Structure 1
Amino acid sequence: MTGYLYQCELALLELARRSWDEATIEVRMELLDDIEFLNPQDNTPLELLQSKHREAAGPLSETGKDFWRSLASWIDALKNLSGPSGTSMPLLRLVSTQIAPANTFLQQLRPGADRDVSNALARMEEVAQDEDGPDGTAKDRALFMKLTPAQRHQLVSAITINDGAPVMSDLDSSLAKELGITPSDHAQAALDDIKGWWYGMAVKLLERKNPERMLPSVKAEQLMCRRDEILGRYAGKSLPITETLSNLTQAEIAGYADRLVVTQMRWIGLPDDEVAMHLRDYHYARAQRSEWLRTFKITPERLEEYEGELHYEWESAFRRRTRRVRADMSEEDRQSVGQDILDDTMDRAADTPLNPGSVTAPWIGKGSMHGLSDQADTAEADRAVGWHPDYSELCKRHTETQEQ
């Protein structure tokens, strides 16, 4: 079990390590190999990584399963690629917590000045053909020897052994360093938040049955965006505002005429000038949020959390204002209650920051709240927002009318 968790956290560590120089690089798991890094231009593998975690200290064996099964896995994976040439052959890495002994081909395949592919290949061929070798790797060694000499040389040239990797219990310090988390009172909490997000992403990367939950890969940009969100939460960092508010044109306002966001305001008798004012917040909040998502200033997960916070504020206002609504109350009075709900909700939304402890332009919260009202006829119960005391029933009729 520790080995599987190690693979997951090693993928996070490796992605964080690359993120500073290769922001668009992507990672995936358990397709061609334990961990893969992809070229974002054409989605071809740049690196196939085998993860081997052993709690007990000890040498990495020349005849052991950790190496030879990794080799067999690489041979199978490369068959699925369209004839890799010398330039397109992915890097093949074995990351092991054990140590490669001196004078072994494993040591000769480490990165650095002492790397010696020719001698490593010759020694590998000796080990592969040893009839006294362990039965557990016999098929894997035979598979290697079935390759042509040129293929064996090309394969071995692509292999890198990274031995002496930190064990599971020592990964946190390496992760914090690569993520740029400096020692502070909140360092461990921030790291735990990032790891919690990452495990959720890993589940989606490993999903194979439900296409709606499946995630093909994760970009380094996504990781760094989430890191900035979490660190910003503890530092009270504000998001940049790139949109400039101005009154919408009549054509822009007309474009929203049939949207539920406007219909909801009509249900409470809001005049045209106030509808236009609220639509301005909605319009520019949508644009700003899209810009943040596009430029990796915020993640969809944080926006979802934020909408949950906004919904809580709306619910507080809605329940307080509707607790005295009677069955015999006139429609005019119901609309008046709805206007009070809208005003209270907008005040609360304006004071709800996207990053706790930071400052967010008031129209972001107000416009985002209108975004929830625009989805009230399709949203799940825990996200539906409305102004009229009977908005739920009105939305139901609205949907039925549209379907007809």
Structure 2
Amino acid sequence: MSTDHSASSQALGYVYQFDRATYRLFQSGVDVVEIGVEDIDDVSVHLDNGVILEQDKSTVNSGSPLSDRSVALWKTLHIWAEMILDAPSIIDTTEFHLATNGSLSAKCLARRINRATDKESTKVICRELRDMIPSLREDLIPFGKTLSILSDEQLCNLIIKISVFDKLSAKFGGNIEELQALRVFEPGMKVGLFDQMNGWVKRKIRELVETGKQPRITRADFDKELQGLFRKVTVARLSAIIEPFDMDVDISQYESHGFVKQLDWISVNEDVIREAILDFLHAQDTRLKWSDNNVVSETALQQYEKDLKKCWETASRRAYRQHFPTDELKGQECLDLTLEQNTFIHNEIMPKSISCGNFHTLAHFIDDQDPVIGWHPNFKSFSKGSPKS
């Protein structure tokens, strides 16, 4: 008995649109206002100053639904051409994305359209499309007619605005490992969080349609829902495990420590050094408690350290390009700019003493271990044994 897969393929395609919309919402930056599903295109990304229209093409095998004479490709071009014919000015503020979970061959038409990024290459594709139109099979003729109505200038402007993406995960609409919002979570937790937000997106779109509203989800609403979900899945808040630290410490025991030497190199006063030592010890003690209680994975801590290094890199660039009379003052500015920044684990803001203590941990060094970050512009050479060390 033969099976008609057309209905199931349509269902998978519809599901894929929600996967892509959810992925886009996770991926969205501050310039994204809202994202629509089955609104003005399969998925539409509404920006402060424009829009991205996305057509999604799902396939149940590893092949490509975007062959040179496929319905998927020509219908997509037809849809976008109709939009331009109805409102020619949209080309100025619109990008056109074609996304598939299938795999494109290196020389296929869709791939060549994606590579057309200047006037000459778009003219080549324009001529190729016009040459193909007379020989299209019957079911593609209406799509070809729409393209033929566009002027050469309009068709070239459309082609240069098209981006084509293939091999986008059929499960998540993209690579879930690349979503920064989920970077600190274990793989299984990432999948769970994505699936829960995907379900929320579907319910939200259904609610909007049933109440006669546009099927668009604002980035603010998505972020609010996601933050609420983060709070639910974090069983024990990290700050609840951060205990008061014994301040009765003999500071003199730490004078030879690498992170203390770094502070000496920029000539900070004794109060700053004492506070740094206490923060360093507090951070070390807290990290042990987190590990003992299994509330922070090693993966999350490694990501946290990467985030700390990025904070320092930004601060050091700002400090070192300022016109201070001495390198010591540049180093003090670098220290201040770094330590004033908030840091996060599992999307929870860390107390200042923990943030500062972990920065000093990265600044620490011993004979066989170089510092990851530093304050003085020449901290790397100093740590290797210059006279100032």
Q: TM-score, normalised by structure 2?
A: 0.51
- TM-superposed deviation, 1:4: 0.5
Q: Which residue of 2 aligns with 1:223?
A: 222
Q: Which residue of 2 aligns with 1:64?
A: 70
Q: Report if the CA contact (8 A) 1:125-1:145 is conserved.
A: yes
What pairs up with 1:41-60 in 2 under 5 angstroms? 46-59=51-64, 60=66
Q: Which amino acid letter does the alignment assign opposite residue 44 of structure 2?
A: E
Alignment deviations for residues 346-404 of structure 1 (CA, whole Å, 9 cap, x no partner): xxxxxxxxxxxx9xxxxxxxxxxxxxxxxxxxxxxxxxxxxxxxxxxxxxxxxxxxxxx
Distance 1:231 1:105, change over 3 A: same
Does residue 5 (structure 1) correspond to residue 7 (structure 2)? The answer is: no
Instruction: Output the CA distance in 1 between the equivalents of 2:218 and 2:102.
Output: 29
Q: Which residue of 2 aligns with 1:87?
A: 92
Q: Which amino acid letter does the alignment assign opposite residue 51 of structure 1?
A: D
Q: Which residue of 2 aligns with 1:102?
A: 106
Distance 1:218 1:172, change over 3 A: same
Q: Which residue of 1 aligns with 2:182?
A: 180
- TM-superposed deviation, 1:3: 0.9
Instruction: Output the CA distance in 2 between the equivalents of 1:99 and 1:176.
Output: 19
Does residue 149 (structure 1) correspond to residue 152 (structure 2)? The answer is: yes
Q: Report if the CA contact (8 A) 1:32-1:77 is conserved.
A: no
Instruction: Output the CA distance in 1 between the equivalents of 2:82 and 2:238.
Output: 49
Distance 1:178 1:13, change over 3 A: farther
Instruction: Output the CA distance in 2 between the equivalents of 1:112 and 1:48.
Output: 18
SS at match of 2:98: strand
* Aligned length, in residue pairs: 226
Instruction: Output the CA distance in 2 between the equivalents of 1:175 and 1:224.
Output: 19
Does residue 16 (structure 1) correspond to residue 26 (structure 2)? The answer is: yes
In the alignment, structure 2 segments of 5+ residues that lack a partner are 1-10, 240-347, 349-389
- TM-superposed deviation, 1:170: 5.4
Instruction: Output the CA distance in 1 between the equivalents of 2:230 and 2:159.
Output: 42
Instruction: Output the CA distance in 2 between the equivalents of 1:145 and 1:10.
Output: 31
Select which of 11, 14, 36 maps to 2:44: 36
Q: Report if the CA contact (8 A) 2:101-2:166 is conserved.
A: yes
Q: Report if the CA contact (8 A) 2:55-2:98 is conserved.
A: yes
Select which of 118, 122, 130 maps to 1:117: 122
Q: Report if the CA contact (8 A) 2:26-2:179 is conserved.
A: no
**Bigger CA drift: 9-18 or 227-236?**
227-236
Distance 1:164 1:71, change over 3 A: same
SS at match of 1:230: helix
Instruction: Output the CA distance in 2 between the equivalents of 1:79 and 1:18.
Output: 29
Q: Which residue of 2 aligns with 1:385?
A: none
Distance 1:97 1:184, change over 3 A: closer
- TM-superposed deviation, 1:141: 0.9
Q: Report if the CA contact (8 A) 2:84-2:90 is conserved.
A: no
Instruction: Output the CA distance in 2 between the equivalents of 1:77 and 1:150.
Output: 15
Q: Report if the CA contact (8 A) 2:27-2:179 is conserved.
A: no
- TM-superposed deviation, 1:137: 0.9
SS at match of 2:44: strand
- TM-superposed deviation, 1:175: 7.3
- TM-superposed deviation, 1:95: 0.6
In the alignment, structure 1 segments of 5+ residues that lack a partner are 240-357, 359-404
Instruction: Output the CA distance in 2 between the equivalents of 1:62 and 1:85.
Output: 26
Instruction: Output the CA distance in 2 between the equivalents of 1:102 and 1:15.
Output: 30
Instruction: Output the CA distance in 2 between the equivalents of 1:160 and 1:73.
Output: 15
Q: TM-score, normalised by structure 1?
A: 0.50
